[in-house]
Amino acid sequence: MTNWFEGWKDVTYPIFEGMTGWPGQPATDLETLSCIHCGDDAMVSVLHMSLHSGTHMDAPSHFLAQGTDISTAPLEVGIGPVRIAALTPKAEVLPEDLEAYEARTRPLEPGERLILRTPNSDHPFWLQDDFNKAYHGIGPAAARLIAKRELRLIGVDYLSVGPFASGNPQTHRALMGGGVWILEGIDLREIEEGDYEMIALPLRIAGGDASPIRILLRPAE
């Protein structure tokens, strides 16, 4: 029998200084307060970053005035079965992209978790590149379909679930208003379409509108 800890793939991007972030937000910076090699007793650092940097989970409060903060995220949101869907949208993800995925696999059921692997993941390591305003996000119409399907969670492979140019707030609000939790910035470069098990837990940041998150995937038995 396989040990419970075997077979997991870490799909979390590392956090590092100067990593690509959302335009206009502060750059990620790791400040050293004390250093053993400098004669101090211990190494102590301070991390300065947006809560929406790298691989992270959004809280409903990010776009909903009465939404709950990230410290209230239920454990079961990020633990359990998840479907990875490989989509190749022309620009933003549209309802027909999701419907085509359902047609070749099986219908999406209420309470399921879904992560979208798009051409975003085909870039070698986009966190070192300039911000790509043409990334493939989920359009508002597709977001409304996801909410209609009553999914528990949706994940994407770039820094935002919604497209950059237009529709970003509408996508977030359609999902959050439908009770769908959001994962962003997932490293799916080595992940194929299929059924997986997932562990994804945010930090309990009181009042936080998002949190860095560590995500592990393992093919479902």
- Asked if 21 contacts 27 with a C-beta cutoff of 8 angstroms, the reply is yes
According to DSSP, the β-strands at 56-58 and 181-184 are antiparallel
Q: Is 62 annotated as catalytic? A: yes
The series of mean pLDDT values per 10 residues for the chain, 221 residues long, is 81 96 95 94 97 98 97 96 97 98 98 98 94 97 98 98 95 98 98 98 98 98 86
**Domain total for the chain?**
1
H/E segment holding residue 140:
helix 140-148
Cα distance between residue 50 and residue 15, in whole Å: 11
pLDDT of residue 200: 98
Out of 52, 56, 62, 172, the active site residue is: 62
Structural domain containing residue 107: 10-219
Q: Which CATH number goes with the domain that contains 204?
A: 3.50.30.50
Give domain status of residue 148, yes or no. Answer: yes
Give domain status of residue 4, yes or no. Answer: no
Give domain status of residue 118, yes or no. Answer: yes
